[in-house]
Amino acid sequence: MKTEILGVLIDAVTKRQALERLLEFLEGDKNRLLFTPNPEFVLEAQKDREFMEILNKGDLVVPDGIGIVIASRITGANIKSRVTGCDLILSLFGEIKNTRHTVYLFGGKPGVAELAKANMENKYPGLKIAGFSDGYYDKQRERAVIREIQELKPDVLLVFNNFPKQEKWIYHNRNRLPVKITAGLGGSVDVMAGTLKRAPVAFRKVGLEWLWRLIRQPNRIKRMYKLPLFLIKAISAGFQGYANVTKP
C-alpha cells in the first residue's frame, strides 16, 4: 500500500518488505526504479512537478527520512518505520553476494566509486561489482557510461548524485539501461567508500541521524529549517484531507 504525503506516493513498507520487493525485481525482466524520498525531496516536489511525477512513477518509493514517518503518524497515515536507501541496498548486497547478480556504481567524486567497490566487495565477499564511474560527466562522457552499462548489463545500477538530478537522469534513461533495478542513493557512495561515517546505530534507531550529521557538519543548520516547514505543510494538508492511504 502507498501513503500520500503532500502529493508524493510513498510505499508503507518495512525494510524487510522492501528488500523482498527488490529480490522480486531481480527475477523480472524490467528496469524497476527505486526512489528514497526524505522531507527535502517532498518539499522540492511541491515546486517541481516533473520531479513529483517521476517520484510517483517509482516502482518502490521508501520513506528515507524520519520526517516522513512523523508526518505519516501526525496525519493518520500508515508508515511505521524509516527505510533508508543505504541500509536497504546494503541488505540487498548481503542477499546477492555469491550469486550471479552484478552491480554498477555511478556517481560521487573521482575515486570514490572505485573505493566503494573495493570496500563493499571486501565487506560482502562474493559480491560482484561489475563496473563504476564517478559522477562528473559531460554529454560525451555520459554516453560512454551508458554504453558501458549496456555492455556489462548489471542487474543493479546505483546512481549517486544530488536530487532531483539523479531521479530525472534515472527516469529519462530508464529505457536505455538493461538492468533490473536502478536506484538513486545520493551521498551513500561516500558511506560505502568509508569516506563518510554514518551515525552510530543508537542514533539511527531513534531517528536522530539528522542530529548526528548536524553535530558533525554544523553548516547543515541551513537545511534543518526544512524539517519543521515540511511538518507544518504535512499537518495542514492532513487537515484538508490530502494525506490519504491508497491502494497501489
pLDDT digits (tens, 9 = 90+) for 31-73: 999 999 999 999 999 999 999 999 999 999 999 988 899 888 8
Q: What amino acid is encoded at 101 in this protein?
A: H
pLDDT digits (tens, 9 = 90+) for 179-196: 999 999 999 999 999 987
What is each CA distance from 87 to 19, 42, 122, in whole angstroms? 10, 20, 17
Across the chain, which distance is largest between two alpha carbons, in Å?
51
Q: What mean pLDDT value characterizes the chain?
A: 88
The x, y and z cell numbers of residue 209, run together, are 541521524
The x, y and z cell numbers of residue 88, run together, are 536497504
The x, y and z cell numbers of residue 54, run together, are 517521476
Residue 215 has pLDDT above 80, yes or no: no
In angstroms, rounded to a whole number, what is the distance separating the alpha carbons of residues 143 and 166? 16
In angstroms, rounded to a whole number, what is the distance separating the alpha carbons of residues 212 and 198? 8
CB burial of residue 187 (10 Å; 0-12, 13-18, 19+): middle
Residue 200 has pLDDT above 80, yes or no: no
Residue 207 has pLDDT above 90, yes or no: no
Q: Residue 235: what pLDDT?
A: 72
Q: Residue 161: what pLDDT?
A: 96
To the question of pTM greater than 0.95 for the whole model, the response is no
The mean pLDDT value for 150-174 works out to 97
Residue 197 has pLDDT above 90, yes or no: no
Q: Residue 80: what pLDDT?
A: 84
Residue 247 has pLDDT above 60, yes or no: no
